[in-house]
Chain A
Amino acid sequence: DAGITQSPRHKVTETGTPVTLRCHQTENHRYMYWYRQDPGHGLRLIHYSYGVKDTDKGEVSDGYSVSRSKTEDFLLTLESATSSQTSVYFCAISDLAGIRQETQYFGPGTRLLVL
């Protein structure tokens, strides 16, 4: 299995509270991604990174920000959590991007509940 960890694995928070999720990889892959997974929607891309300090928005980026100060770490921040951000969040990595990528490797996920 690819070396990807996510922390925390579970979190309960209140509306309006800031929340930061961490993804850590030991594979030295260039590309890192944050997805959310909700019933009926599949995985949807929030933000991705193509290098240290290089990030871009995905399909559902509103209300989220990211940072990547080191190759191995990719942080996802909810500045002011809302109940609609209750979801399972997956981090993923890949060594190629776009149509050249063969696969993405996923972390174990973080279950976030916003009350």
Chain B
Amino acid sequence: RKEVEQDPGPFNVPEGATVAFNCTYSNSASQSFFWYRQDCRKEPKLLMSVYSSGNEDGRFTAQLNRASQYISLLIRDSKLSDSATYLCVVINNDMRFGAGTRLTVKP
């Protein structure tokens, strides 16, 4: 079983839609959680950290459920520019990356 698992998608949504991604992790001792964004043929970049209390950054909301060992990312009012692959990242001691969920937002 992979340490970090994500639905690979692709998610194809119209502009303005709300879309949610989940990510599960296997190591209950994991301490820190992040979402990264990776555009096609580019490097990953930090999108946001995920806190136990949940956190919001504009149209993006991240949640952590330690009991069920998953994190989520909600994108509201999707824009064309949100099209990318979203990587779930979990830190125990090392950084472990999910394989990514691909999102395409269409006009």
Contacts and interface: CB of A to CB of B under 8 A. Distances in A.
Contacts of A44: 97
B105 interface: no
Contacts of B45: 106
B3 to A, nearest CB: 10
Interface residues of A, number: 20
Interface residues of B, number: 22
Contact of A106 (B41, B44, B49): B44
Residue of A39, A45, A98, A108 with most partner-chain B CB within 10 A: A98
Given A42-B87, A58-B94, A103 B46 contact: yes
Contacts of A106: 43-45
A42 B99 contact: yes
A40 B95 contact: no
Grouping DSSP codes into helix (H, G, I), strand (E, B) and loop, the A interface class, with mixed when no group exceeds half, is loop
Residue of A43, A106, A108 with most partner-chain B CB within 10 A: A43
9 contacts: A40-B99, A42-B4, A42-B87, A42-B100, A43-B87, A44-B97, A101-B32, A103-B46, A107-B43
Interface of A: 39-45, 58-59, 90, 98-99, 101-104, 106-109
